[in-house]
């Protein structure tokens, strides 16, 4: 599953990047993720993982997505440090911070007044996936759930992919409080495009 591939990528030493390369990768990955989030948000869609929790909090409370996304990820930095080391944790913190800040300003620069949910799901999911690949390549991430899944796999032997799937199912169940079944179905297809 994606979590196992992510763990393999983090443990490989084939691609070492300079500090400048990592900065470029983190900036590019965060910008792509913000564009994808803007597409999802413009269509009123949700996502999985910590982004899904942030969308739920945003739609339920009206608090900005960026602030919700940053806050939802705070508990996972300790696990990131313990499981994947200081360099990964710092890069992930920077990627999440940059994504949160950029998502605050994106609506002022990218006005998506109408995005059809199917188009938002397909394009948003693919753009987020491209952003995640850029971040993974530079040994960073945007979400705590993958980190938690790897930690639980190491600690209890539960498969990381199943932990991630279980968490996404919980986010999906909570989505029925803020979205219609059609929006939820489109959101599920966005999630499958981004994995």
Question: pLDDT (tens digit, 9 = 90+) per residue, 100-129?
Answer: 999 999 888 887 778 999 999 999 999 998
DSSP letters for 44-84: T---SHHHHHHHHHHHHH---HHHHHHHHHGGGHHHHHHHH
Report pLDDT for 112: 76
Sequence spans of domains, the chain:
19-193
Mean pLDDT of 2-16: 53
Report pLDDT for 110: 82
Question: pLDDT (tens digit, 9 = 90+) per residue, 40-94?
Answer: 989 989 888 898 899 999 989 999 999 999 999 998 888 888 888 999 999 999 9
Mean pLDDT of 2-7: 50
Residues 59, 180: contact at Cβ < 8 Å? no
The model's confidence at residue 24, banded by pLDDT at 50, 70 and 90, is: very high
Q: What is the pTM of this model?
A: 0.82
């Amino acid at each position: 599953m994606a979590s196992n591939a992510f763990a393999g990528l983090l443990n490989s030493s084939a691609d070492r990047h300079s500090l400048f390369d990592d900065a470029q990768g983190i900036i590019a990955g965060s910008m792509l993720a913000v564009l994808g989030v803007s597409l999802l948000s413009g269509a009123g869609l949700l996502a999985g993982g910590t982004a899904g929790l942030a969308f739920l909090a945003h739609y339920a409370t009206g608090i900005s997505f960026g602030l919700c996304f940053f806050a939802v990820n705070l508990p996972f930095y300790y696990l990131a440090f313990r499981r994947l080391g200081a360099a990964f944790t710092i890069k992930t913190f920077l990627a999440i911070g940059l994504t949160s800040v950029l998502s605050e300003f994106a609506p002022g620069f990218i006005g998506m007044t109408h995005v059809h949910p199917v188009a938002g799901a397909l394009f948003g999911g693919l753009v987020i996936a491209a952003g995640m690949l850029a971040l993974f390549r530079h040994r960073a991430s945007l979400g705590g759930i993958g980190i938690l899944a790897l930690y639980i796999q190491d600690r209890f032997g539960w498969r990381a992919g199943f932990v991630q799937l279980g968490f996404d199912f919980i986010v999906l169940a909570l989505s029925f409080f803020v979205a219609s079944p059609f929006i939820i179905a489109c959101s599920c297809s966005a999630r499958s495009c981004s994995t």
